[in-house]
Structure 1
Amino acid sequence: MRLGADDLAALARGAAVLGTGGGGDPHIGRLLAQQAVREYGPVEMVAVDDLPDDACVLPVAMMGAPTVMVEKLPSADQISVAVQTLARYVGKTPTHIACIEAGGVNSTVPVIAAAQLGLPLVDGDGMGRAFPELQMVLPTLAGIEATPMSIVDEKGNRGVFDTIDNPWAERLARSATVDMGCSAIVSLYAMTGTEIREAFVPGTLSQCLAIGHAIERAQQQHSDPVAAVVDQLGGRLLHVGKVVDVQRRTTTGFARGDAAIDGLDASLGRLLALHFQNEHLVAEIDGTAVATTPDLIIVLDTESGEPITTEALRYGHRVSVLAAPADERWHSPEGIELVGPRYFGYDLDPIRALETV
């Protein structure tokens, strides 16, 4: 399949759904990718199973606080420069570009790099969703090193980290990202085709397109777009209501905060609280947790079905909150240690999306 400019609205919309509130603004991601595809031509999308064993796959992403990304866009060449910087350091010629996470920006930044460099794009990602820290990917569980990794800002500063482990890559790159204005472009987790097949979630971009098109069809047919997303994800509706409070702050390179959603319709009389660090991590109804990381907690506009990121949540929004299952590898003991509620400071056992509480 080839991704053209007309495909990118659906891709960005679906990616923002899987992004669970993080991964960057889908509107910004779509505009940047459309500009690149119109300038350089469509991007070939390649299935994970079709990668040569010895492929050199370089993922690329935006790192930082989504609240900053809304106003601080990458420069035209920043994205491809990150890939080229890493390629030079490792001494290899890249054969493919990849997404390391699903998200409104981070599923479209690789499209930009692929278009600019004339390389195919892998139909998959390293999470099946978005997480806030760069070690929080399935390649980490597979023993794949995040570094060497490049980091590039919009002013032209660039660097390469080569760290002792993946948590140290997050720690050092986060500090550099804060110095770079709380957003930067990184290229990391260089992998072969064999490693991609072991460590990636296959078909993520195709799933993003399917979700995006399902929302668009529901809007055109005046049917329920929220139900369409629930069906696509095999998830469930947790709550419908109005946002009555949002507390949000940008600290240490993350957008952290909480939101309160007063119930409407079938949820009348109940209050849902969301807790997020770039992405939604815990959902509670009347003080009882009903969904947690690593499963997906998703906020959609109730009427349109459009995904709402954590930086875009506002008082008065009429929203629907969904839960959907994550890739099963995240529920391994190692996965829970890496991205479970306790890692983020919540004294909770994980609650699966389809679990009845």
Structure 2
Amino acid sequence: MRIDRAALADLARGAAFLGSGGGGDPYYGLLLAEAAIARCGGFDLIAPADLADDALVAPCGWIGAPTVSVEKLPNGGETVAGLRRLEALMGRRIDAVLPVEIGGGNGLAPFVAAAELGVPVVDCDGMGRAFPESQMVIFNIRGLSACPSVLTAACGSLAVIETDNNLTHERVARGLSVALGGIAHMVEYPLTGAQARQHSIPGSVSTAIAIGKAIRTARTERRDPFQALAAALGDSGLYPHCLTLFDGKITDLERETRGGFSVGRVTIDGFGDGGSRMEVLFQNENLVARQDGRVRAMVPDLITIMDRETADTITTERLKYGQRVKVIAASAPSMLREPAALSLVGPAAFGLGPDFTPIEILNQGEGA
């Protein structure tokens, strides 16, 4: 599949939804990717099955607080610099790249490098959404190492990270990103082609494109974009359940940048006379949604706050008082609901206490 500018715009829209509020606003990544298309031509998106067993595949993305990324812009060379250093470390050329997470701006992170290096992007990722920490990835869940990894910053600084476990890798990389201004690019979890096939979430990039196209087409044809979104998610096979949890206006917002994360909560008052209220907690990504104290959705299922008129995703760093929104939940890919995954990406991993309960069970009897 050849990725042109129209597909890139759809990808940005779909990746924003799959970010569950995080992954960074894809706007700047879209501009960089469009500029790369203008310089180098389009990008090739290939299936994991097309990779040779011994191919060198490099996942990449951004680490840091999305609130910082709104003001501290990339220079466009961070990705390529990191990948070139990985090639030097591995003693061979990179054969393909993929997003470490499909959510938000990270869903577009590999495309600039794909154009500059002349390599394809693989239609898969490591999360099927976005998570705030780098060990919350299917590669770590399946026992693969994040190292060697390369962290690069807009100022030109570059660091190679080697650790004995992936949690320590996250802590070291997070500390470096804070020291470098709160945001940096990271190439991590270098894979063989065989590992990329066996230990990734396949089809996530093309699914993001399909989601974005469905919303765009519905808006053009004056159809309900939320119905189109739900249909695209169901057709993907990765996200079979989609629910509109709440419809209202943001009436309170607490948000701060702490320890390399954007953390806080947003309060939404429902429309109508019922006086219902929803509260969403976030750490870069939206983690749990409670309506009048009752849990309606929880990580790793996706919780996305969207403009109620346009179905544009509102990432956590762009939430504002007075926005009129809908809160949409979608089921996470099945890999993320397995017991081994839930220990790393479920509610307990964020100190939220209760065991994971899927949205289709939490909302039995609720309308879509």
TM over 0.5: yes
Q: How does 1:160-175 map to 2 (within 5 A)?
A: 160-175=160-175
> Aligned with 2:257: secondary structure?
strand
Q: Which residue of 2 aligns with 1:201?
A: 201
**Residue from 318, 329, 353 that aligns with 1:323:** 329
Distance 2:274 2:28 in 1: 34
Residue deviations 1:226-270, cap 9 Å, x none? 2221222231111111111110000110000100011125x9421
- Give, in angstroms, the shift of residue 180 of structure 1: 0.5
Query: How many angstroms apart in 1 are the aligned matches of 2:71 and 2:86?
Result: 26
The separation in 2 between residues aligned to 1:101 and 1:76, in whole angstroms, is 19
Residue 220 of structure 1 aligns with which residue? 220
Taking every aligned residue pair, what percent have the same amino acid on both sides?
42
User: What residue in structure 2 maps to residue 272 of structure 1?
Assistant: 278
CA contact (8 A) 2:297 2:362 kept: no
- Following TM superposition, by how much is the alpha carbon of 1:16 offset from its aligned partner in structure 2, in angstroms? 0.5
Other-structure match for 2:6: 6
SS at match of 1:8: helix
Match of 2:181 in 1: 181
SS in 2 for 1:250: strand
1:301 aligned onto 2:303? no
Question: Is the CA contact (8 Å cut-off) linking 2:150 and 2:158 kept in structure 1?
Answer: yes
User: Which residue type is aligned with residue 191 of structure 2?
Assistant: M
Cα deviation for residue 97 of structure 1 reads 0.8
- For 1:228 and 1:103, locate their aligned partners in 2 and report how far apart those are by CA, in whole Å: 19
Aligned mates of 1:353, 1:73 — CA distance in 2: 36
Amino acid at match of 1:260: T
SS in 2 for 1:128: coil
The residue type paired with residue 20 of structure 1 is S
RMSD after superposition: 1.2
Aligned partner of 2:238 in structure 1 is none
Q: 1:333 aligns with which of 336, 339, 347?
A: 339
Which of the residues 290, 293, 311 maps onto 1:287?
293
The answer on 1:28 being equivalent to 2:28 is: yes
Amino acid at match of 1:324: A
Q: Which residue of 2 aligns with 1:49?
A: 49
* Matches of 1:319 and 1:209, distance apart in 2: 23
Normalising by structure 1, what TM-score?
0.97
Q: Within 2, Cα distance between the matches of 1:351 and 1:339?
A: 13
Q: Which AA in structure 1 matches 2:202?
A: P
Cα distance in 1 for residues equivalent to 2:271 and 2:174? 39
Is 1:236 aligned with 2:243? Answer: yes
- Code of the residue aligned with 2:359 in structure 1: it is A
Secondary structure, aligned partner of 1:171? helix
What is the CA distance between 1:104 and its match in structure 2?
2.5
Q: CA deviation at 1:321?
A: 0.7
**Deviations, residues 305-354 of structure 1 (Å, cap 9, x unaligned):** 11110001111111111111111121222111101111111122212121
Post-superposition Cα deviations, 1:126-185, rounded to whole Å, max 9, x if no partner, equal 111000000001111111111110001111110111111110110000000000001001
Q: Which 5+ residue runs of structure 2 have no aligned equivalent?
A: 234-240, 364-368
Q: Hey, what's the Cα distance between the residues in 2 that align with 1:289 and 1:356? A: 7
Distance 2:92 2:168 in 1: 24
Alignment correspondent of 1:251: 258
Report how many aligned residue pairs link the two structures: 356
Letter in 1 for 2:271: L
Please give the alpha-carbon distance, in whole angstroms, between the structure 1 residues aligned to 2:359 and 2:128.
15
Unaligned runs of 5+ in 1: none
Partner Cα distance (1:315, 1:230) in 2:
27
Kept in 2: contact 1:290–1:351 (CA 8 A): no
- Residues 103 and 128 of structure 2 are in contact (CA less than 8 Å); yes or no, is this contact kept in structure 1? no
The alignment partner of 1:144 has SS state of coil
Report the TM-score, using the length of structure 2 for normalisation. Answer: 0.94
Amino acid at match of 1:348: P
SS in 1 for 2:362: coil
Contact 1:102 1:129 survives alignment (8 Å): yes
* Displacement of 1:92: 2.4
For 2:230 and 2:7, the matched residues in 1 are separated by: 22
Segments ≥4 residues shifted beyond 6 Å: none
Question: Matches of 1:269 and 1:222 in 2, distance apart?
Answer: 31
Structure 2 match to 1:311: 317
Return the offset for 1:86. 1.5
Match of 1:349 in 2: 355
* 1:122-137 alignment, distance < 5 Å: 122-137=122-137
User: CA shift at 1:5, angstroms?
Assistant: 2.0
